[in-house]
Amino acid sequence: MFSITDARVIGPEVKRFEIHAPRIAVKQGPGQFVILRLHEHGERIPLTIAGSDPARGTITLVVQGIGKTTRLLNQMEAGDVIRDLVGPLGKPSEIERYGHAVVVGGGVGTAIALPVARALKKAGNRVSAIVGARTAGLLILLDEMRAASHSLHIMTDDGSAGDQGFVTGRLEELIAGPEPVDHVMAIGPLPMMAAVAEVTRSYEIKTIVSLNPIMVDGTGMCGGCRVLVGGETRFACVDGPEFDAHAVDFRNLAQRNSVYRDQERRSLSEFEAHPESDLIQMHHNCRLAHLAHLAAHHAAS
Amino acid sequence: MKEILPPKQRIKIPRADMPEQDAAARIHNFLEVNRGLEEAVAKHEAQRCLICNDPKCIAGCPVGVKIRDFVELILDGQYLKAAAKIREDNVLPAVTGRVCPQEHQCEGACVMRKRATPLAIGYLERFVADYERAAGKIGIPERAPLTGKKVAVIGSGPAGLSCAGDLSLRGHTVTVFEALHEIGGVLIYGIPEFRLPKDIVRQEVDNLRHMGVEFVPNTLIGKTIGIDELLETEGFDAVFIATGAGLPRFLNIPGEQLGGVYSANEFLTRVNLMHAYEHGVHDEPVYDCRAKTVVVVGGGNTAMDSVRSAKRLGASRAIIVYRRGLEEMPARAEEFHHAQAEGVEFMTLTNPVEFLGDEHGYLQGMVGARMQLGEPDASGRRSVSLVPGSEFTMPVDVAIIAVGTRANPLIQASAPDLKTNRWGYIEVEKQSLRTSKRGIFAGGDIVSGAATVILAMGAGRNAAANIHAYLATGQW
Ligand SMILES: Cc1cc2nc3c(=O)[nH]c(=O)nc-3n(C[C@H](O)[C@H](O)[C@H](O)COP(=O)(O)OP(=O)(O)OC[C@H]3O[C@@H](n4cnc5c(N)ncnc54)[C@H](O)[C@@H]3O)c2cc1C
Ligand SMILES: Cc1cc2nc3c(=O)[nH]c(=O)nc-3n(C[C@H](O)[C@H](O)[C@H](O)COP(=O)(O)OP(=O)(O)OC[C@H]3O[C@@H](n4cnc5c(N)ncnc54)[C@H](O)[C@@H]3O)c2cc1C
Ligand code: SF4
Ligand code: SF4
Ligand code: FES
């Protein structure tokens, strides 16, 4: 059982959680993730570790509610508990001193890009961050991103915040600018990552993306997370999730990610119509945790 | 009391049949197929044993269960004592009675096999274990006084469980770390409910808890805690690695990335561990197999479990595609017969060479080719080769690859000084199960490669004995 120590909404359907997981808090590195399961009947879903506080034993997750499990999670508050959580999974980002590093974050990808930006800055890189969203209201973690970079570029499709345009447009400008770009890290929706890869390919700028295939165990046991990189099968949960953007087959990944679309839609609409049963499951957990805590307390005294 | 028939009459008794759920009904549910013997039938079956002076059956059992003795206790009606007798060598009798390949082990060695049919040792083992469970009187042996030594076991499959049980009985404090959220390894995530009800595994795990074993799920050693840390900072005196051979093998043919192509591990994990067969109640999805053609590539237990699960998920055609012949199939004989009765089709001497997709990247068809068997190789297995020009195409909606597993390299990656062989399995000293690192032992599938439940348990017991000796002397 893993308790939520803090939960706050930071954007439409986007919530940031602090979760008590002391072992993971000391072990995690930028780019790594956890897999969690909310309750007894829940599915296992991966979420990136957006930060940690080893002293308090907590990790930060930023969750975008897009389907049943993430929406249910986003109804949780401080004091609620998550049944299962394992990590840190995957390989940490390779952080070196590249020179000028550009970190591109789209949508909730910004949360995942944040620890990478921090680490790149700490390693002595000059970090330019580009964050993009459709519209101003969808931008998240701007202050954090500003602090984690040397310059922050905000792009919206409708110009309601920052500059109007796509993150790829700004990336092109930076590449053409006075300071050569040595390294690019892009995290966001698949089409965005694919577009970034196209931009940097011709300039031969090393570009890393963090992939989000469907996962089950996260330990290399099922092969469900396999992605094609340079024509080879790689398991994103153990070989990744970060890969060389120029070698990734994005089309295949997009297709594999849509395999359960019908079932996911059905689960979501059933959940939205009757959220009670799942909420009861969650709070059942809490009560058990509470009782266990009492029992432990009792035994100790 | 015991009625002893003369051997001639005993041989005339026909072997007991296992009552089973009717095939037409069972393909619509995940309930256990075999129902178990009635007491009277079990006793009758036990009568068939010749109570040999030199019981060959025992030599056929990898852990040397005292078969003759437990059968005699059945004849006496002392079922609890019979169960306790088995437990002296085998801590999971309810499991092995169901899943051991008996025809190659105990029953394969029984002298009755030559004269008639072998004693149904597996059925009897299951009978006493189930009797014991139903009676709620599991004969948990007494624990030795605490030694103050701590042992970490990595992985909660049969190897890890049996090692943990033995060490705990010897008074050591044992913690089992498991990456998944449930305890049991392949017994939980691989072997389906209709063959091994999960309640049985859970009960055995509870027994171990009562014996003092601590279980820590959701902990991936090598990531959550480093293996060296277990000894250096977590205060463990010895470590047993029992992480299994969980890395799925693929065919490396075109189209394997298509949606609808699964590894058996993924398919079975979704179905068993995540209960995808109860989608609606449980959230994890699995591809809707209803009215679909599902092919499973392979001929082992994993392939049988996958194809029979697909059938139960509503597949209109569930087909085994195997590159050798029926005789070469490594699956347990019973699984093959059950699959056949359930309407599973068998395409032997066939192998896929390509999977074909539609415009959305979804599996649509398979190009298969006929295979021919050649001369036996050094290991006695006949080689296979493709018959040139024999390719054919068939429509397929779901394909499940069950062609074996390899060693998961996760642990080794976190401990580069842990010696492995060229296939990635951990190297150990044969007798002592010691690895190249002081205080660390290994056993089960991660050492032997994919094998059987009982061999993994045997390795776990053996490791426990060696770890106990090491803890007593401190000598490496
Ligand atoms: C390594 C990794 C890190 C991630 N980090 C974050 C993060 O920090 N914040 C965040 O909001 N999201 C993150 N995701 C995505 C997140 O896992 C999915 O949004 C979530 O699983 C959706 O589940 P659902 O039930 O809410 O939606 P569903 O309706 O079930 O699914 C919606 C879509 O999410 C994807 N998805 C579904 N199930 C899984 C699964 N088991 N594993 C992976 N993807 C799945 C599919 O593409 C699907 O079409 C990450 C994914 C990966 C692989
Ligand atoms: C589908 C299927 C059907 C089978 N049917 C039969 C049968 O009928 N009869 C038979 O005798 N045998 C059968 N087998 C084979 C048998 O199950 C295995 O040989 C046996 O389970 C091996 O036991 P083990 O303890 O070595 O490993 P496993 O049972 O594989 O358990 C290993 C455990 O370790 C965990 N783990 C791995 N890495 C880590 C880590 N780094 N940290 C923490 N935990 C970790 C895994 O999650 C897993 O739970 C079958 C196998 C499969 C897959
Ligand atoms: S453990 Fe397996 S091989 Fe040994 S007696 Fe029991 S069923 Fe037979
Ligand atoms: S070999 Fe067969 S007949 Fe002889 S003791 Fe064993 S089970 Fe009984
Ligand atoms: S999620 Fe199962 S192997 Fe990666």
Q: Domain B7-135, CATH 3.40.50.1110 — does that match? A: no
Show the domain range for A40. Answer: 2-90
Place of tokens 């619509």: B28
Number of domains, chain A = 3
Tell me the CA–centroid distance for residue B220 and ligand 5, in Å.
13
**Residue A220 and residue B410: Cβ atoms within 8 Å?**
yes
Q: Is residue A149 part of a domain?
A: yes
- Each residue's pLDDT tens digit, B196-253: 999 999 999 998 998 899 999 999 999 999 999 999 999 999 999 999 998 999 999 9
Distance CA B188, CA B198 (A): 6
Residue of B nearest to A266 (CA): B280
ipTM: 0.91
The distance in angstroms from the start CA to the end CA of chain A is: 22
Entry pTM: 0.92
The tens-digit pLDDT sequence of chain A (301 residues) is: 899 999 999 988 899 999 999 999 999 999 999 999 998 888 999 999 999 999 999 999 999 998 889 999 999 999 999 999 999 999 999 999 999 999 999 988 999 899 999 999 999 999 999 999 999 888 988 999 999 999 999 999 998 988 999 999 999 999 998 999 999 999 999 999 999 999 999 999 999 999 999 999 999 999 999 999 999 999 999 999 999 999 999 999 998 888 888 888 888 888 888 887 788 777 755 555 555 555 555 655 5
Domain topology for B248-405: FAD/NAD(P)-binding domain (3.50.50)
What distance in Å separates residue B366's CA from the closest CA in chain A? Answer: 18
Nearest by CB: B257 against A23, A86, A256: A256
- Each residue's pLDDT tens digit, B127-150: 999 999 998 877 777 889 999 999
pLDDT of residue B1: 47
pLDDT of residue A287: 53
Domain ranges of chain B: 7-135, 150-246+407-473, 248-405
Q: Which of B214, B228, B283 to mutate to test the interface with A (most CBs of A within 10 A)?
A: B283
User: Given the DSSP bridges, would you call strands A45-53 and A33-37 parallel, antiparallel or unpaired?
Assistant: antiparallel
Distance CA B178, CA B246 (A): 13
**B236 and B230 in contact (C-beta within 8 Å)?**
yes
For the segment B360-366, the average pLDDT, to the nearest whole number, is: 94
- The mean pLDDT value of chain B amounts to 92
Residue of B nearest to A29 (CA): B223
Q: Which of A41, A222, A282 to mutate to test the interface with B (most CBs of B within 10 A)?
A: A222
Residue A17's nearest CA partner among A1, A26, A34, A4 is A4
Distance CA B436, CA B65 (A): 31
Query: Can you state the percent helix, strand and coil of chain B, rounding each to 5?
Result: 35, 20, 45
Q: At what angle do helices B121-135 and B67-75 cross, to 10 degrees?
A: 60
Superfamily (CATH) of domain B150-246+407-473: FAD/NAD(P)-binding domain (3.50.50.60)
On whether both A161 and A217 belong to a single domain, the answer is no
On whether both A128 and A178 belong to a single domain, the answer is yes
Pocket of ligand 3 (CB under 6 A): B 61, 63, 65, 67, 90, 96-97, 100, 102, 105-106, 121-122, 125, 454
Domain boundary among A174, A209, A244: A209
On whether both A98 and A190 belong to a single domain, the answer is yes
pLDDT of residue A289: 52
- Each residue's pLDDT tens digit, B44-89: 999 999 999 999 999 999 989 999 999 999 999 999 999 999 988 8
Residue A198's nearest CA partner among A169, A224, A174, A218 is A169
pLDDT of residue B126: 97
